Structure formats: C-alpha cells, structure tokens
C-alpha cells in the first residue's frame, strides 16, 4: 500500500514525484523493512527518538570515541531511515564510526570499517540485503578503492559521495571506485549543486542542498553536500530491495539508474549522467 507523508523535506518529495516542488513523500509501506544500512561516518546518536529504536551502535575505529560527538553521521542516518526525514522508515540503521568527532579520519580506519561490514552482515540477519552508506572521501587511493570493491563483491551495496570539490570524481576515493554507486548532489530547483563533483564515475544524482535531518542531542539541522545525497540513495536501495526483492549490488545500482528521472537536471556536464534518483511510487 502507498503511504503519503505530507509536509516532508523537499528531498523526500523530490525522489517520489516526477515533478519538482512537492513536499509529499509517497512510498510503499514496506519502507525498507528487513534491510540493514551500515552508516560509516562519525557515528549515530542511536537514542534519538526519530530512530524509533532501529539504530544500533556496532563499532568504533576511533580510539576512545564511542558516540557521535559531531552530528554528520546522525544526519546521514536520519536521511536513510528516520521516522520524519528518512527514505526507508523501517530499515535497520547500523553505526560504524570511522570519522572522529571533528569529522575527519584516516584511510586505514575507513578500510578497517569496510572490512568489518563485509564480515558483519553475513551474521546480522538482513533478509532484504546489506547496504553501506559512505558520506566521506579524500584524494584518490587505490587501496581505498580496492577495499570498497571487496566489500561490494562480498554482497554489500555501496552508496558513496561523489565529493564536494566541483571537480571530476575520478580524482577522489572511494567516489572513483567503479563498483560503488557514486552519488552527486542536486538542489530543490533541479540544478546540480554547485559544489557537486561530476564525471563518468558518477552513477546518479540525489537531493543534497539544504537537506533537513536529525542532529545530535535530539535535534535537527539543515546542511548541504554530496554527503546528504548519498543516504538518499542508500535509503532508496534498502527500499527497492524490500519492495522488489534482493538483487546484487551491481544490479541494484543499475535498477536505481533505470528507475531514475532522466534529463531533468541543469548544470550537468555532457560526460556525466543526467539521472535523478526516483522511487517509482
């Protein structure tokens, strides 16, 4: 059955309507149930009421830090699956802290986090599949891309941020890993966000400018970045798996592309896909 959330954030309205400007989020009530979404970030404030007890702290790769003392990870998790601000409102949200409370981390920590997810999901109980949302990046690194590819080949769908450099995503990791589903950002007027990276390695665009979601200390905040676009696609992946059955990560990224709204976006270079994430509802 289709549910309609009135007065939803613009990004949720956008991914569930063919035209821009809607604040009604339309979605099937399966809502990502049975899918596990790992958020590799600064952590998740699991006690935030918006998560309704569906968020679990799994592991920190930052010494001495076992909570989200920043907010970025809680915001991203809220876009994946919070009650009000989330795409997949019944998904399990799993915190893997690879960024510290200042919002930075090391590639060694990010790689360790990806290796952990590759193993963890096999015994986690995720009948509708495992999805990783990674709103992070840095300079090109073959070892980071290799770890991302290994996680995908283990069966985990990976949504990654294209980056906020206004440049070609091929220069950054893990955005440049071909087997990841790499996400660029858009505005509420269907323009590529000015900061969003682009190029042949971007797979899909999603709302990323002025995105309202959960924040630490039980709060909310509106922020911008390809970091905000990425969890829209991770939530959509969970949603489609729960609704239509689990498919491989490669098939799921292709399904997201095939379902997307085509040629609606301005400011997208010719060499970059003009595809806006859409749930088909």
pLDDT tens digits for range 217-243: 999 999 999 999 999 999 999 999 999
Give Cα 266 to chain centroid, integer Å: 22
Residue 204 · residue 162 · CB < 8 Å = no
Residue 45 confidence (pLDDT): 99
* CA–CA dist 91, 184 (Å, integer): 23
Q: What b/e string do you get for 237-256 counting C-beta neighbours within 10 Å, with b at 16 or more?
A: bbbbbbbeebbebeebbebb
Residue 224 · residue 208 · CB < 8 Å = yes
**What does the angle CA 117 – CA 227 – CA 262 come to, to the nearest 5 degrees?**
105
Residue 35 · residue 92 · CB < 8 Å = yes
Residue 128 confidence (pLDDT): 99
Mean pLDDT (the chain, rounded): 99
Residue 68 confidence (pLDDT): 99
Residue 13 confidence (pLDDT): 99
Residue 4 confidence (pLDDT): 99
Tokens 């309205």, located at residue: 13
Residue 49 confidence (pLDDT): 99
Give Cα 156 to chain centroid, integer Å: 13
Instruction: Please give the positions annotated as active site.
Output: 41, 72, 227
Interhelix angle 142-153/107-120, nearest 10 degrees: 10
Residue ranges of the chain whose pLDDT lies below 70: none
Model pLDDT for residues 95-126, shown as the tens digit of each residue: 999 999 999 999 999 999 999 999 999 999 99
SS3 228: helix
Residue 197 confidence (pLDDT): 99
Q: What's the predicted TM-score (pTM) here? A: 0.98
CATH superfamily of 7-41+55-276: Peptidase S8/S53 domain (3.40.50.200)
- Residue 42: count other Cβ atoms within 10 Å of its Cβ: 32
* CA–CA dist 183, 111 (Å, integer): 20
Residue ranges per domain, the chain?
Answer: 7-41+55-276
N-terminal to C-terminal alpha carbon distance within the chain: 10
């Amino acid at each position: 059955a289709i549910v309609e959330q009135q007065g939803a954030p613009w990004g949720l309205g956008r991914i569930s309507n063919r035209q821009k400007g809607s604040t009604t989020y339309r979605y099937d009530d399966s809502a990502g149930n049975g899918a596990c979404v790992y958020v590799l970030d600064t952590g998740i404030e699991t006690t935030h009421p918006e998560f309704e007890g569906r968020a679990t702290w799994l592991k920190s790769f930052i010494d001495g830090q076992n909570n989200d003392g920043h907010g970025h990870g809680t915001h991203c998790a809220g876009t994946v699956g919070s009650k009000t601000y989330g795409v997949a409102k019944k998904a399990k949200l799993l915190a893997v802290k690879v960024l510290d409370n200042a919002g930075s981390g090391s590639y060694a920590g990010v790689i360790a986090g990806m290796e952990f997810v590759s193993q963890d999901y096999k015994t986690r109980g995720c009948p509708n599949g495992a999805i990783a949302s990674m709103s992070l990046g840095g300079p090109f690194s073959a070892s980071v891309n290799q770890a991302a590819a290994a996680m995908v080949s283990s069966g985990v769908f990976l949504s990654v941020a294209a980056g906020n450099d206004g440049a070609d995503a091929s220069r950054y990791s893990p955005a440049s890993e071909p087997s990841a589903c790499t996400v660029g950002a858009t505005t509420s007027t269907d323009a590529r966000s000015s900061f969003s990276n682009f190029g042949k390695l971007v797979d899909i665009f999603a709302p990323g400018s002025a995105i309202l979601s959960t924040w630490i200390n039980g709060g909310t905040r509106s922020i911008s970045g390809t970091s905000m676009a990425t969890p829209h696609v991770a939530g959509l992946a969970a949603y489609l798996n729960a609704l239509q059955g689990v498919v491989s990560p490669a098939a799921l990224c292709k399904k997201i592309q095939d379902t997307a709204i085509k040629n609606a976006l301005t400011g997208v270079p010719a060499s970059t896909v003009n595809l806006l994430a859409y749930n088909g509802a």
